[in-house]
């Protein structure tokens, strides 16, 4: 069983305010940075990223049943018609949480070599830490090959619940609940990059937050959500 040490993907809240946009918007989504705040209320700890978005045909969001092609989480790697398992072949990667998937099989577990499918998610989050003046990406999956922590990539729900296509524009709030994120980046200077993708796999531009420390963006009260969100 994959162990999620950061509890980031177990509880994800996405909210969006949207309205009809001009019909000339591109079907490829575009985003811009709006805000980032770390809420520490004592009961919950939540890094909240707010993005502005526009999409010409409104096909943004995934439902819980969207797990088949092209939204499957991974593809098994086959050799001579058989799925490749950890240790089957010389030259395959050492065990790590990116290249292998642990699958329960009764009282045992199987560890398969896989190709991860990025489009299982529709929002992609990358953290960067400034070390001696140089920005370095911090990948939770590779900090400990046996911990198997998830990234903060995730899913936001379908925004247009009507059957007809329509342009959407508004704000997308993506909340990353984590009991450990503050500890990981406690004294670091950090920035976050974000990107979204629509149901047709049109990728948006990549946006970047200003650099920050968690002390600078921490608040202890969560504001009430505006009506309609």
**Residue 197 carries which DSSP code?**
B
**Together in a domain, 147 and 102:** no
**Together in a domain, 93 and 25:** no
**Together in a domain, 168 and 200:** yes
Q: Structural domain tally of the chain?
A: 2
**Together in a domain, 108 and 125:** no
pLDDT value for 11? 35
User: Residue 100: CA atoms inside 13 Å, Cβ hemisphere, count?
Assistant: 24
Residue 140 in contact with residue 151, Cβ under 8 Å?
A: yes
**Together in a domain, 30 and 137:** yes
How many whole angstroms separate alpha carbon 94 and alpha carbon 113? 10
**Together in a domain, 150 and 217:** yes
How many whole angstroms separate alpha carbon 37 and alpha carbon 187? 16
Tell me the residue range of the domain where 90 lies.
74-116
The answer to whether position 193 is within a domain reads yes
Q: In what order do the strands lie in the sheet containing 74-76?
A: 74-76, 108-116, 100-105
- Per residue in 38-82, pLDDT (tens digit) is 999 887 889 999 999 999 998 999 999 999 999 999 999 999 999
- Per residue in 151-195, pLDDT (tens digit) is 889 999 998 887 778 889 999 999 998 767 888 888 899 999 999
Q: What is this structure's pTM?
A: 0.83
**Together in a domain, 110 and 122:** no
**Together in a domain, 53 and 139:** yes
């Amino acid at each position: 069983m994959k162990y999620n040490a950061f509890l980031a993907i177990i509880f994800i809240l996405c909210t969006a305010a949207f309205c009809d946009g001009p019909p000339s918007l591109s079907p490829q989504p575009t985003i811009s940075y709006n805000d980032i705040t770390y809420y520490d209320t004592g009961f919950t700890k939540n890094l909240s990223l707010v993005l502005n978005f526009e999409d010409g045909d409104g096909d943004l969001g995934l439902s819980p049943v969207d797990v088949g092609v092209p939204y499957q989480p991974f593809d098994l790697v086959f050799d001579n018609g058989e799925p490749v398992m950890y240790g089957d072949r010389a030259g395959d990667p050492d065990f790590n949480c990116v290249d292998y998937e642990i699958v329960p099989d009764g009282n045992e577990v199987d560890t398969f070599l896989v190709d991860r499918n990025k489009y299982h998610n529709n929002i992609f989050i990358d953290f960067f830490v400034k070390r001696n003046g140089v920005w370095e990406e911090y990948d939770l999956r590779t900090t400990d090959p046996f911990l198997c922590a998830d990234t903060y990539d995730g899913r936001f729900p379908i925004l247009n619940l009507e059957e007809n296509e329509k342009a959407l524009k508004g704000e997308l709030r993506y909340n990353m609940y984590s009991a450990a994120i503050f500890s990981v980046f406690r004294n670091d200077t950090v920035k976050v990059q974000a990107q979204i993708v629509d149901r047709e796999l049109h990728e948006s531009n990549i946006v970047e937050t200003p650099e920050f420390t968690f002390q600078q963006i921490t608040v202890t009260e969560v504001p009430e959500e505006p009506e309609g969100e």
